[in-house]
C-alpha cells in the first residue's frame, strides 16, 4: 500500500477508540440534515415560524437550516420571509450566512419585505471584519430588487476602495452583478472607471476579478472599449497572471487573447511569459494559454527559432489533456480538431494518442476518429487503417459506421493507401453485417469518383449485396454506381428495373438517383432500355408530387427528345474531381474559431454570433497577420478565402445536373449591360447550361433523330419517343415546362435599368412660374439629367441656359450651354452628391439644388479583377471600412447581384458561409475612385429582414452615398 493510504488507516484507528463505533453512528444519523427532508406533515410552516421566533439562538439556527433545506428541494417557504429576516441581525456568522442564502432566493418575490434587510446590509458594509464587509456587499449584489440596488451604490463605492483586498475583489464582482441588473446605473455612478483602475491593483486576485467583471460587462457592450489593452496594462496582467489563482489565470488569459500586439517582438515576449501556463494542472488554464499562443504565433516569422520551439511546446499539453476525465477530453478533442486543421505540424507525430479504447464514451470515440483522419498521412496510414479495421468490428453501431466511412476518407486523402483501403472495405463487405456493408458502399462510391477507372473490378462484389441495402443513402450510392458503370454491368437494366418497382416508396434521393441512373443507362445502351427510360420518366413527371423530381424528369425528357447529343454531353459529362479533404472548416471561420479556442464556439465549431444569445453585435475575431514571411499564412482577409473556394464537392446525390439547376439562369438573358459580369467560377457552368437551353429552344421544331454513336437504329428509337410525349406534355404538369421556356423572355424584364420617376426640383411658386422636375439616369455610359420644364406662368419664357456649381465629382453640362453667373458656394454641409443648378430664362435666374443618385457615376468598366480586388481590399486601411445594414430587403443574393449590376455594381465573387451569401462587389466612379463592397445576405430564408454591407474605399466620404444607393436599388 502507499504511504498515504497507510496514513489514512492510522488516522482512523486513532480516532476510533475515543468514541465507540455504535454510538458514533447514532450521533451521525441524528446530526445529519436528512431529517429536514422528512418533515412533510401539515402545519410545518407554522412550526418553523414558531422556531424562528424562538429566544434560543441554537433553535433559531436550526430552524433557518430547516428552511434552507426545504428551499433547496424546491418547497415554497417564502411565507416565512419576515421571520427569517428577523434573524439577520446577529453576530453569529453562520446564521447570518444562512439568512443571506434565504434572502437571495426569495427577495425577488417579496421586494417590499426585502427592504427590511437594507439597514443591516448597509451596517455590515462598515463592519470592522473584512469577511463581513465582503459578505454584505456580495449578498446585496445578488438581490435583484431595484429598491435594494439603489442602496447598494454607496457601500459598493466604499468597498471598491476598501483597504482589504478581499473586500475589493468581492466588490469588483459586485459591479458586474449590478451591471446585469441595471447597466445604466453602473455607468452613471462611474463604477466602470473604478473597475478599470482595479486592473492596476497591487493584489493579483483583485486584478483577476476586475478583468473577469469587465469581460462580462464587455460581452453585453460589444463596441465599448472597456478593456482598453495597451502595453502597460498587458504588462500588469502578465505579472498578475503568475500570482493569481487558477481561475484568475483563465480570466486573464482570455482577456490577453483579445489583445493585438504591435509587432512580432511584443508578440514573442508575451508568448514567452504565457508558455509556463501550459504546465498547469487545470486543463482550462492550459487551453486558454493554447489560445493565446495559437493567436500570437500568427505574428511570428516562420523562420524564427522561437517559432519552432513554440510549436514543439504546444504538443505535450494537448496530449496530456487527453488523459483527463472524459468530459474534459471531449472539449479538448473538439479544440484539437481546430488546431490540427490550422497547424497540422503540431500533432503530426502524436497519432497514437487518438487511438480509441473500447471503454471510451461514444462522444470521445467519434471525436478521436475525426482527428485520426485529419492526421492520416502516407507515413502513418498503415497503422491508421489497422486501427480503423479493428473499430469496424466493435459493438456500437454509430461508431462502426463512422469507422467505415473513415476508411473511405483515408483512401481519398492518401492516394497510396487507396488500394489497401478498398481491399479493407471489401473484407468488411464480406462480413455481411448489414450496416457495415451499406456504409462501405457509400464510401466506395466516393472512391470511384476520386480514382475513376481503377477499382471497378469490385463492382461485381458490390452487386451481390444489392438486396441487403435498405438505407436510402446506400441505395442511392449503389444506383449511382450501376448507372455510372452501366456499360460494364451486363444486367444493369435488370438491376435498375428491380428498384423501379417500388419507385414511389423510395426516398427522394433514391428516386432522383434512379432517374439519373436510368437516363445514363439509356444513353449508353439505348437499344434495350427504351422502355425502362420511358417508364421512369413518366413515373417522375406524372406520378410524382415532388417538384424536384418532376423538374428533373422534364429536363431529361426534353433533352433526350430534342438533342440527344447534348443530352449525352450534359448527363455523361466528366465529373469534377472530389476534394482530398472533406468537411474541412472554411478558412475564415477556422481563423475566427482559433480566436475562440476553449469557448463554446470551439465546441460547436460555429462563430459565437451564430448561437450566443444577445451577441449579434459581437465583432468577429480575426487572427493577426504575420509580420515576417507571409507566404503560407492565409491572410485574414475575407477575399482571400474566396479565391481558394473550398472544393467541397462530394455531392451527396451525386448528380451533376441537380447542381446545375440550382444556378441562377438569369444573367445569360440579361437585357441590360453585357454579360461579363459574374465570376469565372459560375461562368463555366452557365455556358454549359445556356448552350443546353439554346438547343432546347432552338431545336424545338426540328425533327429529332440525331445519331448517337453512329447507330442508325437509334434514330428510329428516338423518333418514337416524342410521339408518345406530347400527350403528357399537355398534362397538368406542363405548366412547369412552360415556365422553363418563358425563362428567356421573362427573366430580362426586371433587369432593365431602373428608371425612377422625376421629382420636382424647383416648384413654380419659387421660380415665377417655371417648374422644373427632373431625374438623373445613366444610359450607355453617359450621365443624363432629364428635366421637364413646365411654364406655369402667363408669359413666354425664353433664353434658357443652365449651369452647375462646382461639385464633388465634377459634373458639368455636356451640351454647349450659355454660362451664367456662378453661384457662391453654399456654406451648409451638403451631401456629396448634391448638385446646385442655375437655370436662366428671359424672366430671371433660378437657383435650385438637387441630388443625383451616386450610381449615375458608376462607370461600366467598374468590374475589378479578382486578384486586384483582393489586393485592393487588403491595401485599403480598415479605418476606411464602413458597415451598414439594409433592412426589409427581400431579395436573394442572386437577384440582388443582378439588380445591382444594372447600376454598374459588379459582383466579383460569391461564396456561402454559414447560411450567409457573401457577395464581393466593386464599382468605379467617373473620377476613378474605386469602391469595394462585401454584401452579406442571409441565404435560403425568404423572410429575412436584414442584410449588411461593408464598404471599403480610399475616399471613405463616398461610402454613405454608395450605401444609400444600395438601399435604393435593393428596395426598389
Partner 1 sequence: MIHSLFLINHSGDIFLEKHWKSVISRSVCDYFFEAKEKAAEPENVAPVLQTPHHYLITIYRGKLFFLSVVQTEAPPLFVIEFLHRVADIFQDYFGECSESVIKDNVVTVYELLEEMLDNGFPLATESNVLKEMIRPPTILRSVVNTLTGTWSNVGDTLPTGQLSNIPWRRAGVKYTNNEAYFDVIEEIDAIVDKSGTTVCAEIQGVIEACVRLTGMPDLTLSFMNPRLLDDVSFHPCVRFKRWESERALSFIPPDGNFTLMNYHVSSQNLVALPVYVKQSISFFDSGPCGRLDITVGPKQTMGKTVEALMVTIHMPKAVLSANLTATQGSYTYDLATKVLVWDIGKLNPQKLPNLKGSLSLQAGAPKPEDNPSLNIDLKIQQMAISGLKVSRLEMFGEKYKPFKGVKYLTKAGKFQVRT
Q: For the segment 58-117, give every residue that binds partner 1 (CB under 8 A).
A: 58, 65, 68-69, 72-74, 92-95, 97-98, 101, 105, 108
CA 32 and chain centroid, separation = 51
Closest CA to 300 of 265, 274, 276: 265
3-state SS assignment for residue 484: helix
Using CB under 8 A, which residues numbered 118 to 177 contact partner 1? 129-131, 138, 141-142, 144, 164-166, 169-170, 173-174, 176-177
Contact between 22 and partner 1 by CB under 8 A: the answer reads no
Tell me the closest approach of the beta carbon of residue 178 to partner 1, in angstroms.
10
- 776 and 856 in contact (C-beta within 8 Å)? yes
Annotate 73-88 with three-state secondary structure. CCCCCHHHHHHHHHCC
Q: Euclidean distance between the first and final Cα of the chain, in Å?
A: 83
Tell me the closest approach of the beta carbon of residue 174 to partner 1, in angstroms.
8
Annotate 14-27 with three-state secondary structure. HHCCCCCHHHHHHH
Q: Which is nearer to partner 1, 17 or 732 (CB)?
A: 17
The DSSP call for residue 853 is: -
Using CB under 8 A, which residues numbered 840 to 869 contact partner 1? none
Tell me the closest approach of the beta carbon of residue 180 to partner 1, in angstroms.
7
Contact between 431 and partner 1 by CB under 8 A: the answer reads yes
Q: Which residues lie below 8 Å from residue 618, measured CB to CB, with a gap of 6+?
A: 222, 608, 609, 612
Q: Which is nearer to partner 1, 68 or 747 (CB)?
A: 68
How many residues belong to the chain? 972
Window of 241-249, 793-801, 832-840, 885-893 that interacts with partner 1 by CB under 8 A: 241-249
Tell me the closest approach of the beta carbon of residue 136 to partner 1, in angstroms.
13
Q: Which of 126, 188, 228, 394 binds partner 1 (CB under 8 A)?
A: 394
Q: Which is nearer to partner 1, 34 or 878 (CB)?
A: 34
- 902 and 896 in contact (C-beta within 8 Å)? no
Window of 279-287, 500-508, 784-792, 904-912 that interacts with partner 1 by CB under 8 A: 279-287
Rounded-to-integer distance, Cα 295 and Cα 306, Å = 15
Contact between 332 and partner 1 by CB under 8 A: the answer reads yes
Contact between 361 and partner 1 by CB under 8 A: the answer reads yes
Using alpha carbons, list the distances in angstroms from residue 263 to 266, 273, 297, 314, 603. 6, 16, 11, 22, 31
Q: Which is nearer to partner 1, 250 or 540 (CB)?
A: 250
Q: Which of 224, 235, 279, 885 binds partner 1 (CB under 8 A)?
A: 279
Q: With 0-12 CB in 10 A as exposed, 13-18 as middle and 19+ as buried, what is 500?
A: middle
Using CB under 8 A, which residues numbered 206 to 225 contact partner 1? 209, 212, 216, 219
Q: Which of 54, 78, 538, 615 binds partner 1 (CB under 8 A)?
A: 615
Contact between 359 and partner 1 by CB under 8 A: the answer reads yes
Classify the C-alpha dihedral 713-716-721-724 as positive or negative.
Answer: negative
Window of 78-86, 152-160, 601-609, 720-728 that interacts with partner 1 by CB under 8 A: 601-609
Q: Which is nearer to partner 1, 595 or 772 (CB)?
A: 595
Q: Which of 363, 846, 848, 944 binds partner 1 (CB under 8 A)?
A: 363
Q: Which is nearer to partner 1, 191 or 858 (CB)?
A: 191
Q: Which of 151, 355, 451, 846 binds partner 1 (CB under 8 A)?
A: 355
Tell me the closest approach of the beta carbon of residue 159 to partner 1, in angstroms.
13
Tell me the closest approach of the beta carbon of residue 747 to partner 1, in angstroms.
40
Contact between 19 and partner 1 by CB under 8 A: the answer reads yes
Using CB under 8 A, which residues numbered 561 to 600 contact partner 1? 596, 598-600
Using CB under 8 A, which residues numbered 472 to 491 contact partner 1? none
Window of 32-40, 299-307, 723-731, 767-775 that interacts with partner 1 by CB under 8 A: 32-40
Rounded-to-integer distance, Cα 198 and Cα 171, Å = 10
Tell me the closest approach of the beta carbon of residue 346 to partner 1, in angstroms.
14
- 653 and 512 in contact (C-beta within 8 Å)? yes
Annotate 285-328 with three-state secondary structure. HHHHHHHHHHHHHCCCCCCCHHHHHHHHHHHHHHHHHCCCCHHH
Q: Which of 205, 412, 418, 567 binds partner 1 (CB under 8 A)?
A: 205
Q: Which of 55, 163, 281, 644 binds partner 1 (CB under 8 A)?
A: 281
β partners of residue 787: 774
The DSSP call for residue 927 is: T
- Residue 2 grid cell: 502507499
**Phi-psi group of 847: left, alpha or beta (phi > 0 → left; psi -120 to 50 → alpha; rest → beta):** beta
The DSSP call for residue 578 is: P
Tell me the closest approach of the beta carbon of residue 896 to partner 1, in angstroms.
31
Tell me the closest approach of the beta carbon of residue 897 to partner 1, in angstroms.
34
Window of 249-257, 524-532, 743-751, 799-807 that interacts with partner 1 by CB under 8 A: 249-257
Tell me the closest approach of the beta carbon of residue 297 to partner 1, in angstroms.
20
Window of 324-332, 537-545, 638-646, 804-812 that interacts with partner 1 by CB under 8 A: 324-332
- 120 and 86 in contact (C-beta within 8 Å)? no
Using CB under 8 A, which residues numbered 899 to 938 contact partner 1? none
β partners of residue 472: none
Contact between 28 and partner 1 by CB under 8 A: the answer reads yes
H runs (alpha helix) in 378-525: 381-391, 397-413, 418-430, 434-450, 459-464, 472-484, 492-500, 508-524
Contact between 282 and partner 1 by CB under 8 A: the answer reads yes
Give Dmax over CA atoms of the chain in angstroms: 126
Window of 44-52, 521-529, 609-617, 851-859 that interacts with partner 1 by CB under 8 A: 609-617
The neighbour count for residue 161, using CB atoms within 10 Å, is 12
Tell me the closest approach of the beta carbon of residue 132 to partner 1, in angstroms.
8
The neighbour count for residue 196, using CB atoms within 10 Å, is 15
- Residue 683 grid cell: 461562368
Using CB under 8 A, which residues numbered 177 to 196 contact partner 1? 177, 180
Tell me the closest approach of the beta carbon of residue 138 to partner 1, in angstroms.
6
Q: Which residues lie below 8 Å from residue 571, measured CB to CB, with a gap of 6+?
A: 516, 519, 520, 523, 556, 559, 656, 657
- Residue 550 grid cell: 418532376
Q: Which of 185, 284, 663, 968 binds partner 1 (CB under 8 A)?
A: 284
Tell me the closest approach of the beta carbon of residue 155 to partner 1, in angstroms.
16
**Beta strands per DSSP E along 793-842:** 801-804, 834-840
Rounded-to-integer distance, Cα 668 and Cα 164, Å = 75
Q: Which is nearer to partner 1, 109 or 795 (CB)?
A: 109
Contact between 629 and partner 1 by CB under 8 A: the answer reads no
Q: Which is nearer to partner 1, 46 or 611 (CB)?
A: 611
Q: Which of 379, 382, 386, 820 binds partner 1 (CB under 8 A)?
A: 386
In angstroms and rounded to an integer, the radius of gyration of the C-alpha atoms of the chain is: 37
Tell me the closest approach of the beta carbon of residue 163 to partner 1, in angstroms.
12
Buried b or exposed e, range 583-600, using 16+ CB within 10 angstroms: eebbbbbbbbbbbbbbbe
Contact between 387 and partner 1 by CB under 8 A: the answer reads yes
Q: Which of 76, 126, 327, 865 binds partner 1 (CB under 8 A)?
A: 327
- 521 and 493 in contact (C-beta within 8 Å)? yes
Q: Which of 9, 147, 349, 779 binds partner 1 (CB under 8 A)?
A: 349
Q: How many residues bind partner 1 (CB under 8 A)?
A: 117
Amino acid at each position: 500500500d502507499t504511504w498515504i493510504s497507510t496514513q489514512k488507516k492510522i488516522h482512523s484507528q486513532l480516532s476510533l477508540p475515543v468514541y465507540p463505533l455504535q454510538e458514533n453512528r447514532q450521533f451521525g444519523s441524528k446530526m445529519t440534515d436528512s431529517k429536514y427532508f422528512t418533515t412533510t406533515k401539515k402545519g410545518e410552516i407554522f412550526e418553523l415560524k414558531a422556531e424562528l421566533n424562538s429566544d434560543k439562538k441554537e433553535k433559531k439556527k436550526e430552524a433557518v437550516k430547516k428552511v434552507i433545506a426545504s428551499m433547496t428541494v424546491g418547497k415554497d417557504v417564502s411565507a416565512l420571509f419576515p421571520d427569517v429576516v428577523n434573524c439577520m441581525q446577529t453576530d453569529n456568522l453562520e446564521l447570518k450566512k444562512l439568512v443571506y442564502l434565504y434572502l437571495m432566493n426569495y427577495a425577488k418575490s417579496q421586494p417590499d419585505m426585502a427592504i427590511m434587510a437594507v439597514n443591516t446590509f448597509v451596517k455590515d458594509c462598515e463592519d470592522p471584519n473584512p469577511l463581513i464587509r465582503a459578505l454584505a456587499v456580495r449578498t446585496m449584489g445578488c438581490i435583484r430588487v431595484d429598491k435594494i440596488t439603489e442602496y447598494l451604490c454607496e457601500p459598493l463605492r466604499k468597498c471598491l476602495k476598501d483597504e482589504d483586498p478581499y473586500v475589493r475583489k468581492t466588490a469588483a464582482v459586485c459591479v458586474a452583478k449590478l451591471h446585469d441588473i441595471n447597466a445604466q446605473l453602473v455607468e452613471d455612478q462611474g463604477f466602470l472607471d473604478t473597475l478599470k483602475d482595479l486592473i492596476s491593483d497591487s493584489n493579483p486576485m483583485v486584478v483577476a476579478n476586475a478583468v473577469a467583471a469587465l469581460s462580462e460587462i464587455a460581452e453585453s457592450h460589444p463596441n465599448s472599449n472597456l478593456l482598453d489593452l495597451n502595453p502597460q496594462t498587458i504588462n500588469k496582467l502578465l505579472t498578475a497572471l503568475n500570482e493569481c489563482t487558477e481561475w484568475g489565470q483563465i480570466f486573464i488569459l482570455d482577456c490577453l487573447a483579445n489583445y493585438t500586439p504591435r509587432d512580432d517582438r511584443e508578440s514573442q515576449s508575451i508568448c514567452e511569459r504565457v508558455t509556463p501556463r501550459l504546465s498547469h494542472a487545470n486543463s482550462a488554464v492550459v487551453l486558454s494559454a493554447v489560445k493565446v499562443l495559437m493567436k500570437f504565433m500568427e505574428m511570428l516569422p516562420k523562420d524564427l527559432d522561437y517559432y519552432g520551439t513554440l510549436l514543439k511546446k504546444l504538443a505535450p499539453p494537448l496530449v496530456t489533456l487527453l488523459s483527463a476525465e472524459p468530459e474534459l477530453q471531449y472539449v479538448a478533442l473538439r479544440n484539437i480538431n481546430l488546431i490540427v486543421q490550422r497547424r497540422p505540424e503540431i500533432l503530426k507525430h502524436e497519432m497514437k494518442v487518438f487511438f480509441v479504447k473500447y471503454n471510451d464514451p461514444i462522444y470521445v470515440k467519434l471525436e478521436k476518429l475525426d482527428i485520426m483522419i485529419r492526421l492520416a498521412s502516407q507515413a502513418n496510414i498503415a497503422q491508421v487503417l489497422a486501427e480503423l479495421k479493428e473499430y469496424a468490428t466493435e459493438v456500437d453501431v454509430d461508431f462502426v459506421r463512422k469507422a467505415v466511412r473513415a476508411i473511405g476518407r483515408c483512401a481519398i486523402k492518401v492516394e497510396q493507401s487507396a488500394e489497401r483501403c478498398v481491399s479493407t472495405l471489401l473484407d468488411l463487405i464480406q462480413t455481411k453485417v448489414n450496416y457495415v456493408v451499406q456504409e462501405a458502399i457509400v464510401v466506395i462510391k466516393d472512391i470511384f469518383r476520386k480514382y475513376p477507372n481503377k477499382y471497378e473490378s469490385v463492382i461485381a462484389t458490390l452487386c451481390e449485396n444489392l438486396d441487403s441495402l435498405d438505407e436510402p443513402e446506400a441505395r442511392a450510392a449503389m444506383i449511382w454506381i450501376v448507372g455510372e458503370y452501366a456499360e460494364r454491368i451486363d444486367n444493369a437494366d435488370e438491376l435498375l428495373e428491380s428498384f423501379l418497382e417500388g419507385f414511389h416508396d423510395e426516398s427522394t434521393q433514391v428516386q432522383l438517383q434512379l432517374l439519373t441512373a436510368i437516363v445514363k443507362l439509356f444513353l449508353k445502351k439505348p437499344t434495350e432500355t427504351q422502355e425502362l427510360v420511358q417508364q421512369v420518366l413518366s413515373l417522375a413527371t406524372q406520378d410524382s408530387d415532388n417538384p424536384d423530381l418532376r423538374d428533373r424528369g422534364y429536363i431529361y425528357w426534353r433533352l433526350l427528345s430534342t438533342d440527344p447529343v447534348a443530352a449525352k454531353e450534359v448527363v455523361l459529362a466528366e465529373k469534377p474531381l472530389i476534394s482530398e479533404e472533406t468537411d474541412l472548416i472554411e478558412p475564415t471561420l477556422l481563423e475566427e474559431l482559433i480566436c475562440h479556442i476553449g469557448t463554446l464556439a470551439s465546441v460547436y465549431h460555429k462563430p459565437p454570433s451564430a448561437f450566443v444569445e444577445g451577441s449579434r453585435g459581437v465583432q468577429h475575431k480575426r487572427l493577426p497577420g504575420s509580420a515576417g514571411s507571409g507566404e503560407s499564412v492565409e491572410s485574414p482577409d475575407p477575399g482571400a478565402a474566396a479565391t481558394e473556394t473550398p472544393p467541397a464537392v462530394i455531392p451527396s446525390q451525386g448528380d451533376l445536373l441537380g447542381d446545375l439547376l440550382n444556378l441562377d439562369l438569369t444573367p445569360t438573358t440579361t437585357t441590360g449591360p453585357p454579360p461579363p459580369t459574374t465570376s469565372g467560377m459560375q461562368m463555366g457552368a452557365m455556358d454549359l447550361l445556356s448552350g443546353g437551353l439554346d438547343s432546347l429552344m432552338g431545336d424545338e421544331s426540328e425533327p429529332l433523330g440525331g445519331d448517337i454513336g453512329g447507330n442508325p437504329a437509334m434514330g428510329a428509337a428516338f423518333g418514337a419517343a416524342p410521339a408518345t410525349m406530347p400527350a403528357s406534355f399537355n398534362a397538368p404538369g406542363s405548366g412547369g415546362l412552360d415556365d422553363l421556356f418563358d425563362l428567356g423572355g421573362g427573366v430580362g424584364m426586371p433587369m432593365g435599368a431602373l428608371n425612377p420617376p422625376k421629382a420636382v426640383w424647383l416648384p413654380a411658386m419659387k421660380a415665377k412660374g417655371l417648374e422644373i422636375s427632373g431625374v438623373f439616369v445613366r444610359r450607355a455610359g453617359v450621365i443624363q439629367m432629364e428635366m421637364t420644364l413646365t411654364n406655369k406662368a402667363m408669359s413666354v419664357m425664353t433664353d434658357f441656359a443652365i449651369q452647375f456649381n462646382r461639385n464633388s465629382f465634377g459634373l458639368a453640362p455636356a451640351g454647349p450651354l450659355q454660362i451664367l453667373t456662378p453661384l457662391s458656394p453654399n456654406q451648409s454641409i451638403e451631401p456629396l452628391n448634391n448638385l446646385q443648378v442655375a437655370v436662366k430664362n428671359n424672366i430671371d435666374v433660378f437657383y435650385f439644388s438637387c441630388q443625383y443618385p451616386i450610381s449615375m457615376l458608376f462607370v461600366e468598366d467598374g468590374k475589378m479583377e479578382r486578384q486586384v480586388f483582393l489586393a485592393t481590399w487588403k491595401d485599403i486601411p480598415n479605418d476606411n471600412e464602413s458597415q451598414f445594414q439594409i433592412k426589409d430587403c427581400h431579395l436573394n443574393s442572386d437577384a440582388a447581384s443582378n439588380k445591382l449590376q444594372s447600376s454598374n455594381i459588379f459582383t466579383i465573387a460569391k461564396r456561402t458561409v454559414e447560411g450567409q451569401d457573401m457577395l464581393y462587389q466593386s464599382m468605379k466612379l467617373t473620377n476613378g475612385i474605386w469602391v469595394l463592397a462585401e454584401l452579406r445576405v442571409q441565404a435560403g430564408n425568404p423572410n429575412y429582414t436584414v442584410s449588411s454591407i461593408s464598404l471599403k474605399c480610399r475616399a471613405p466620404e463616398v461610402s454613405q452615398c454608395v450605401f444609400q444607393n444600395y438601399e435604393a436599388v435593393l428596395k426598389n
